[in-house]
Amino acid sequence: MSQESGIPTFRDAQEGLWARFSPQELATEAGFRANPRRVWSWYAWRRRRIESCSPHAGHVALVELEALVPELTVVTQNIDGLHHAAGSREVIELHGSIRRLKCLDRGHPFNGEPPPAAEEEEADPPPCPTCGSPLRPDVVWFGEMLPQDA
């Protein structure tokens, strides 16, 4: 559903993100530990790109369906948060959300927006306020298990 909102997919052969970027370098813990600034900057670029996108008619249709079927839960692999932005109440984000952060070493959730300086090009990831470990996007990287609450 992300593509219809203008968000590039990961696996499209010509236009997908993994056709242009290395998932091993940008979507693994090892890649983050090897070059945290590069990985953080890439996700900051993606967050900026997603912020300019809006839910489309498909997202709205699910919200309308939820009004008819209150026990409806949306299950998505998308990390863009557009189901929430459209108004869906019950959303399970299997692969996490690029809009949330957690610390690298202990998984402490970070509640709030990244500091503005951390969203600039070539910025270092900010530290976790609880333990000092670098913050990372709260998304499932290659080699990681799905969250327990998914």
- Catalytic residue numbers, as ranges: 95
Q: How many CB atoms lie within 10 A of CB 150?
A: 13
Pairing of strands 96-103, 109-110: antiparallel
Strands laid side by side in the 109-110 sheet: 109-110, 96-103, 135-139
Pull the structure tokens for residue 80: 């863009």
Angle, CA 35 vertex, CA 129 and CA 103 arms, to 5° = 25
Q: Looking at the DSSP assignment, which residues form a beta bridge with residue 102?
A: 109, 136
